[in-house]
Amino acid sequence: MAFHALLIMFHSLVSILVWLQLAAAVLVPITGTKPGCKDKCGNVNIPYPFGIGEGCFIGDWFNVTCNDTFSPHKPFYGFIEILDISVLEGEMKLNASIATSCDENDGTSWVRLAKFTFSETRNKFIAIGCNTIGYFGGTKNESYFSGCLSLCNSINDVTDGSCEGIGCCETSIEKGLMRYDVTARGFYNRSTNYSFSPCSYAFVAEENWFKFHRSDIKEFNNGKNDVPVVIEWTVGNEACDEAKKNSKSYGCGSNTNCYEPGNAPGYRCKCKDGYKGNPYLTGIGSCQDVDECKTLDPDPCRGLSAYICINTEGGYNCTCPSPYRAQTRNDGSVDCGKPDDQLNKIIIATASGFVFLLVSSSWLYWVFRNKKLIKLKEKFFLQNGGLILQQLLKREEAVDESTTAKIFTAEELNKATKHYDESRILGKGGYGTVYKGILSNKNVVAIKKSNIVDRTQIEQFINEVVVLSQINHRNVVKLLGCCLETEVPLLVYEFVTNGTLFQHLHDHENRASSLSWDSRLRIAVEVAESLSYLHSSASIPIIHRDVKSSNVLLDNNYTAKVSDFGASRLVPVDQTQLTTLVQGTVGYLDPEYFHTGQLTEKSDVYSFGVLLAELLTGKMALSLERSEDERNLAKYFLSSIKDDRLFQILDDNLVSEWSIKKQQLKEVADLTKRCLRVKGEKRPTMKEVVMVLDGLRRSSKDPWIIEVEPNNNIEEMMHLLGDTQLESNAESSTGGYVTMDSQVMPTSLLNSGR
Residue 205 bridge partners (DSSP): 124
Geometric angle at alpha carbon 224, from 187 and 212, rounded to 5°? 65
Of these residues, 216, 507, 546, 604, which one is catalytic? 546
415 is in an annotated binding site: no
Geometric angle at alpha carbon 487, from 481 and 491, rounded to 5°? 20
Integer Cα distance of 131 and 190 in angstroms: 10
According to DSSP, the β-strands at 91-97 and 268-271 are: unpaired
Least Cα distance to 278 among 286, 270, 289, 266 occurs for 286
546 labelled catalytic:
yes
**Max CA separation in the chain (angstroms):** 111
Query: Phi and psi (nearest 5°) for 64?
Result: -115, 135
Cβ burial of 43 (10 Å; 0-12, 13-18, 19+) is exposed
Integer Cα distance of 93 and 81 in angstroms: 9
Residue 585 bridge partners (DSSP): none
Q: Say if residue 35 is preceded by a cis peptide, omega within 30 of 0.
A: no
Rg of the chain taking only CA atoms, in angstroms = 32
CA dist 464 to 542, 665, 736, Å? 10, 38, 10
CA dist 482 to 454, 643, 735, Å? 16, 50, 20
Least Cα distance to 549 among 568, 535, 563 occurs for 563
What own/partner pairs with CB < 8 Å and gap ≥ 24 does 74-80 have? 74/41, 74/42, 74/44, 75/41, 75/42, 75/44, 75/46, 80/111
Residue 200 bridge partners (DSSP): 101
**Catalytic residue ranges:** 546
Q: Binding site for ATP: what residues are annotated?
A: 449
